[in-house]
Amino acid sequence: MKEAQTICLLNDSFPPQYDGVAAATANYAKELHSAGHNPLVVTPSNPQARDDFPYPVLRYPSVAFRKLEGYMAGIPFSPDTAGRISEQKPALFHSHCPIMSTIMARELRQIVDAPIVFTYHTKFDIDIANLTQSKRVQDMCKKALADNISACDEVWVVSNGAGENLRALGYEGDYIVMSNGVDIPKGRVSEEQIKAATEGYDLPYDIPIYLFVGRMMWYKGLRIILDALSSLKYRGYDFRMVFIGSGNDKGEIENYAANIGVADKCIFTGAILDRETLRAWYTKADMLLFPSTFDTNGLVVREAAASALPSVLIGGSCAAEGIINGYSGFLIDENADSLCTCLQELYGKKESIRSVGNNAQRELYISWSDAVAAAMDRYLIVMDKYRCGEYPSRKNPLDSWLKANGELMDILSNLPNPRRFLHNGD
């Protein structure tokens, strides 16, 4: 896009709430700003937020989502928020979450008269199953999500596997694949940086170091990792396993490691937000273990590839898209025995592993600059199609209900003690 445009980016999570989609939204904003455009981030309020970004972040009323620790649920639709957004005259809305953010974008489209792009990042059927055991409620939630996504003007997915999962929700429309990028530069860091980042940890020089980076949740395949390591230790192999991340299951995972006898081989660092420190761990490790079938894109696989660190992945998973077994990564079946066999076969073969890591760096890496540049080119096409009337009218009876609820939330936010009800975006 040659002319500066105001692009409104909406997501239900944003720093200080960190997850893959929050990071994607932040990187879109960063790259749009760097390219001379005017990103406007719209996200639920968060009492820990310190918005010192070089672009505006507009936060609207929200409540804490108790079943997902740290997450805030935005409450659309707020007339006050809509007025503040419309003053910015967005040329396009880009929603990264199919729930409240997309509902808000749909209402804003009626006011601002600008198209909506939606990106599907996450396997929401798994999130829904984690929140309720009722099949009837799950089906209702899936239908609501599919209907909400269908109301957008163009739908993007971050991988082919993400597109297949979107179909499983009941979405029947078109979509295109638009890959996310990586905010870690290509290349390995110095030995001095590695020493500074890893000093104090028990990391013998002559044994393999395996790494996991991500939310500490069982559905990330962590039981497969721990069970495989238990078998590997039983067979007489030494190693260190480093887990970087936080999450609701972290305590259970640490206890499980102790119960199966591998706690002495495991290091749990917690979340690491500093990107250079994370790069040092990617450089230090021998392989990234990421046996997750939950992730739709596997950004950590590409982050690892930036440092020439190869990954061990489940064959056929979204994270393994584009991986050639034994060339740019290692593919296993979705069980601990398969992972253990893989680690045993590769044990001590540092040169072979490094060669695969170099191939991964060359074949898998994509920067956020390149990813958002491709998105900006597509924005132009969407805006042109919208102006030419190529998208159908999206007016929905739900819109009036949303507007009435938004007016109610504005009333609540002006009460003497509104935090009894919600967090105020101001």
In this predicted model, which residue has the larger pLDDT, 72 or 269? 269
| Mean pLDDT, all residues of the chain | 87
pLDDT tier for residue 398 given thresholds of 50, 70 and 90: low
Rounded CA separation 261/375 (Å): 47
Cβ-count burial 355-393 (b if 16+ within 10 Å, e if not) = ebbebbbeebbebbeebbeebbeebeebbeebeeeeeee
CB 43 within 8 A of CB 59: yes
When comparing pLDDT for 343 and 148, which is higher?
Answer: 343
Contacts for 21-29: CB closer than 8 Å, 24+ residues apart: 21/96, 21/97, 21/121, 21/122, 23/183, 23/299, 24/96, 24/119, 24/121, 24/180, 24/299, 25/96, 27/180, 27/181, 27/183, 27/368, 27/372, 28/94, 28/96, 28/368, 28/372, 28/375, 29/53, 29/55
Report d(CA 45, CA 67) in Å as an integer. Answer: 18
Residue closest to 337 by CA, chosen among 234, 231, 258, 248: 231
Q: What is the pLDDT of residues 99-127, one digit of tens each?
A: 888 888 998 898 899 999 999 998 787 77
- SS3 of 412, please? helix
pLDDT of residue 385: 96
Contacts of residue 50, Cβ cutoff 8 Å, sequence gap at least 6: 16
Give bridge partners of residue 244 from the DSSP assignment. 213, 270
Residue 158 pLDDT: 93
Which of 5-9, 41-45, 227-231 bottoms out in mean pLDDT, i.e. has the lowest? 41-45
What per-residue string of b and e applies to 69-104 under the rule 16 or more CB within 10 Å gives b? Answer: ebbbbbbbbbebbbebbeebebbbbbbbbbbbbbbb
Q: Identify the pLDDT of residue 356.
A: 98
- Structural domains in the chain, CATH included, are 6-181+369-420 (3.40.50.2000), 191-365 (3.40.50.2000)
For residue 345, is pLDDT > 60? yes
What is the per-residue DSSP string for 308-345?
T--EEEETTSGGGTTPPBTTTBEEE-SSHHHHHHHHHH
pLDDT exceeds 90 at position 228 = yes
Give whole-number Cα distances, 426 to 7, 10, 102, 116, in Å: 21, 17, 21, 25
Q: What is the pLDDT of residue 419?
A: 40
pLDDT computed for residue 66 by the predictor? 39
> What's the whole-number mean pLDDT along residues 249-267?
97
The string over 230-260, giving b where at least 16 C-beta atoms fall within 10 Å of a residue's C-beta and e elsewhere, is: bbbbeeebebbbbbbbbbebbeebeebbeeb
| Average pLDDT, integer, range 229-233 | 98
How many other C-beta atoms are found inside a 10 Å radius of the C-beta of residue 1?
Answer: 18
Share of the chain above pLDDT 70, in %: 88
Q: What is the pLDDT of residues 17-57, one digit of tens each?
A: 877 889 899 999 999 999 999 999 999 888 888 999 999 99
Question: Does the pLDDT value for residue 310 go beyond 90?
Answer: yes
Provide the pLDDT for residue 425: 39
Does the pLDDT of residue 68 top 90, yes or no? Answer: no
Instruction: Check residue 99 and give its pLDDT.
Output: 83
Q: Report the predicted TM-score, pTM, of the whole model to 2 decimal places.
A: 0.81
- Res 411 pLDDT > 60: no
Of 39-43, 139-143, 322-326, give the lowest mean pLDDT range. Answer: 139-143
User: What are the structure tokens assigned to 222, written together?
Assistant: 């962590």
Task: Please tell me the predicted confidence (pLDDT) of residue 420.
Answer: 35
Low-confidence winner among 10-19, 228-237, 415-424 (lowest mean pLDDT): 415-424
